Structure 1
């Protein structure tokens, strides 16, 4: 066969992941905080994007300077109908048929056009961060009402200690290495080597710092923390020191082992354990720290008067973006070079695409959440014992999407129900077969039943239940489960074994 160059035409199909499509897929798995940060970055990069100002929208809706926008998605829209027509339903390309176009979607409202007269809108009373005399007084009062942090408390004591020169430097470095619980999280030898000082000198400085309030601060482990507190109470005798050296026996409630290593009788051991329990294992926890951020739900589920469940998106977590068409028309008409025209065109296309991607993201979350509520309506009405086994494929097949899309939607998203706030992934649990071949049980429901049985052990005539006994009780109620599965669930819930629970019950009496 002769070899010669020739031309061939082939036809095929392939999925091309464009940067816009990658962005749309990324938006699906972002939490509301991550999404807000992403939108802030896009607002800085794209001059054609702006946030909707609800107050300005109400006051100036009829103004001629308002940007020309089209109404977009609102949380009251329900999945289905024409709104779902432009959503692809297979694999990851749920936005494959959408592209940057001329239509800008977004909630109707007003955005201040860049280049407008900013002087007319300037509030000179707030131009300086220093504020007026009144605002200075408010800031001073707010500073006084703030809780003092542990590091501030330690530095105040350091100032009164009177250390100078290298000792003051060593103490400052050690204070910086204290965590929120009051423990020293730095190796003393490494600190001495880094500062070029004698390790013995660093040890002496640490000994002086360990006398600071609260007692137990600057400890390097739990044993040392408890020892510092007991030494202050003049209770660190040899027997108590032996108990601190064998905290593993105390954790296992091994009273006989503690009696042996401490050389005391059972009554003395119980008194020593009571003294240790009265101590503070985290002395720095009483001081102010960064406030814990609460979970903001993305979806609300409410029951209407007809016994049905209504699913709504949380409007506060949805970024409200507008595309300023009037400003686009102004700057595009003023563009002269090809680079300027390309920049304006790209910004307009990216703005349109981002607004539409956010619209599709909201609709996808609502669609997936509605199907989860439909599948788990028994849990919402009756409780965790009625949670059904559910996997991603079941939800994906029901709503016509791919499993990977559902997985991204359920990541870092939360649903507020009458039974609490749950991550969407909470509703996806594995199944445990029934002994009679009937409907399978949810693994989460079985974990709940195991916890209920263990919590009610004191009221049970059988006393402390072993894993084998729990298996027998579950099989009597129709649950086909293995002993190792019960042990795995118990350990995941941080419930001690039956031996440790029996020792704990004996110690309580």
Structure 2
């Protein structure tokens, strides 16, 4: 057998992921706040990029390429009940994607600048420690314990190890902790839930032997095992009800009443509102779209000054290409979000009109095929994006649910609709009866929904609804 070498030519096509293509794909799945952070980083690195001001760019400054109109309004489209609206192509390849020309500039400082910042838990505790009659060593220990204080008001620390670290007797640490547990709010500096409730009950002078037995058996209370609780506490049903009502008035996390940071809001990326005629109007929220422009005038001026230096000219060209890519990618991202949102509204128009009971089962593949996109692209676009509708604010992924078969041979039901039906059935239970999961299955079947008992159990537990036995115990005890 002879071995030999030879040269052969073969032509083939392969798909190569360039760095810019991978970055464009990543932009699709970024939330709006992550997108703004990314744009700010690009603005710092690229001298030819700039954010348009509220009054629009001045002549000769930051302007789109090819002389396109920079003041392009908010992108929107409409959906009616019969046909799928085509997404309008906005003029020009290079354009801004946010119009703030008509937004008046704020005159003077904001009122928020003069508002007092809310007091934090640690500030509240530090002020009380300063006013408490501690010895110097106890004050030192108290400040160290306050450093371990969690936002919930609990302190997770080993007293023996802390005493060893501070080189003080453990009894001093225990005594100081006991003093700190008398501070406001009641229940603070507890090491667990049981101790937190005990501290609050002691301050109310309500920690008697019966209440101590109830606090020591919180697991039974969570399981609604009222018969065993009456035996352990040595009380009758009326006394147990009074004790449980008092437990419910206590604060299990006393530190949560203090704000540890500013309030968090969900900013919708897409707005949906009824059309004056028929159907829906879908538009992008301009606050989530940064208006990025390319300063072509500055690029031309700098290029003339560096014509003799090939290295500098290559750097400038690279910056200009990156700037062009960013503007084009942001434009593509906005169009893609609008396309996907428009198709979702078309598919779920009945839900927008009549509520969750009419939410249709929907898959990513169905939307991808309708708008001629890849399924992975739709998945990226719907991640961390929110839609403001007349029914409330929903994540785009909320509209994608699995299908539950219908016994009547019609359209299938979405899983979210089935969960809503289960919750409605349980809410309509008679006071003297609790439907078992098997009975819920039968009632769903009467409505045309075929579902297994284990699925009902899974959905019920996901909604934190107790079992029929537990619900029956609560009603017998008069808690519902």
When the two structures are superposed, what TM-score results if normalisation uses the length of structure 2?
Answer: 0.89
Q: Which sits farther off after the overlay, 263-272 or 44-53?
A: 263-272
Runs of at least 4 residues off by over 6 Å: none
**Partner secondary structure for residue 55 of structure 2:** helix
Kindly tell me: are residues 331 and 173 of structure 1, through their superposed partners in 2, closer, same or farther at Cα, counting changes over 3 Å?
A: farther
Deviates more, 1:195-204 or 1:270-279: 195-204
1:455 aligns with 2:427: yes
* Structure 1 residue 15: Cα displacement: 1.3
CA distance in 1, matches of 2:99, 2:117: 38
1:241-280 C-alpha deviation (Å, 9 max, x unpaired):
1110101111222221111111222222222212212222
Write the distance in 1 (CA, Å) between the matches of 2:317 and 2:21: 18
* Alpha-carbon separation, structure 1, partners of 2:185 and 2:76: 56
Cα deviation for residue 104 of structure 1 reads 4.5
Residue in structure 1 matched with residue 96 of structure 2 by the alignment: 106
Q: What's the counterpart of residue 306 of structure 1? A: 277
The residue that corresponds to 2:451 in the other structure is 481
* Alignment partners' CA distance in 2, 1:366 and 1:65: 30
How far is 1:68 from its partner?
Answer: 5.6
Cα–Cα, structure 1 residues 167 and 8, in superposed 2: closer, same or farther, change >3 Å? Answer: farther
Residue 76 of structure 1 aligns with which residue? 75
Q: Deviations over 1:379-433 (max 9, x none)?
A: 0111111111111111111111111111000000001110001000000000111
Asked if 2 retains the 8 angstrom alpha-carbon contact of 1:304 and 1:310, the reply is yes
* Number of the residue aligned with 1:191: 162
State the partner residue of 1:341.
Answer: 313
Is 1:246 aligned to residue 221 of structure 2? no
C-alpha separation between the residues in 1 aligned to 2:455 and 2:383? 26
Partner residue of 1:287 out of 249, 258, 261: 258
Cα deviation code 1:343-381 (max 9, x no counterpart): 211111111001100000000001011111111111011
Distance 1:329 1:362 in 2: 29
Give the 3 Å change call, closer, same or farther, for CA 196–13 of structure 1 in structure 2: farther
The corresponding residue for 1:505 is: 475
Quote how far apart the aligned CAs of 1:499 are: 0.9
1:127-166 matches, cutoff 5 A: 142=115, 145-163=116-134, 165-166=136-137
Shift of 1:193: 4.2
Question: Paired residue for 1:177, among 129, 148, 170?
Answer: 148
- In structure 2, stretches of 5+ residues that fail to align are 78-84, 101-107
**CA separation in 2, counterparts of 1:341 and 1:325?**
15
Distance between the aligned counterparts of 1:435 and 1:107, measured in 2?
A: 48
Q: How many residues align?
A: 461
Aligned pairs for 1:86-97 (under 5 A) are none
Alignment TM-score, normalising by the size of structure 1: 0.84
Query: d(CA) in 2 for partners of 1:182 and 1:37?
Result: 33
Taking a change above 3 Å as real, the CA distance of residues 177 and 420 of structure 1, as seen in their structure-2 partners, is: same
1:432 aligns with 2:404: yes
Contact 2:76/2:282, CA 8 A, preserved across alignment: no
SS at match of 2:272: strand
Question: Could you tell which deviates more after superposition, 344-353 or 173-182?
Answer: 173-182
Which residue is equivalent to 2:103? none
Whether the 8 Å CA contact 2:64–2:96 is kept in 1: the answer is no
| Residue 325 (structure 1) aligns with | 296
- Contact in 2 for aligned 1:107/1:322 (Cα 8 Å): no
Alpha carbons of structure 1 residues 408 and 245: separation in structure 2 relative to 1, 3 Å = same
Q: Distance in 2 between matches of 1:227 and 1:155?
A: 23
Hey, what does 1:117 align to over in structure 2?
none
- Cα distance, 1:80–1:492 mapped onto 2, change above 3 Å: same
Instruction: Give, in angstroms, the shift of residue 64 of structure 1.
Output: 4.5
Contact 1:67 1:324 in 2 (8 A): yes
**For residue 27 of structure 1, what is the aligned residue in structure 2?**
27
- 2:11 maps to what in 1? 11
Q: Structure 2: how far apart are the matches of 1:389 and 1:46?
A: 45
TM-aligned CA distance change 1:107 to 1:147, over 3 Å: closer
Considering only aligned residues, what root-mean-square deviation do their CA atoms show, in Å?
2.7
The answer to whether the aligner puts 1:468 opposite 2:459 as a matched pair is no
Cα displacement (A) at 1:22: 0.8
- Secondary structure, counterpart of 2:477 in structure 1: helix
Provide the C-alpha distance between the structure 2 equivalents of 1:285 and 1:109, rounded to a whole number of angstroms: 40
2:243 counterpart (252, 268, 272): 272
Q: 1:332 to 1:85 in 2, by over 3 A?
A: closer
From 491, 495, 500, the equivalent of 2:461 is 491
Of residues 74-83 and 388-397 in structure 1, the stretch that sits farther from structure 2 once superposed is 74-83
Structure 1, unmatched stretches of 5+, are 87-102, 111-133
Distance in 2 between residues matched to 1:499 and 1:183, nearest whole Å: 33
The SS at the match of 1:279 is coil
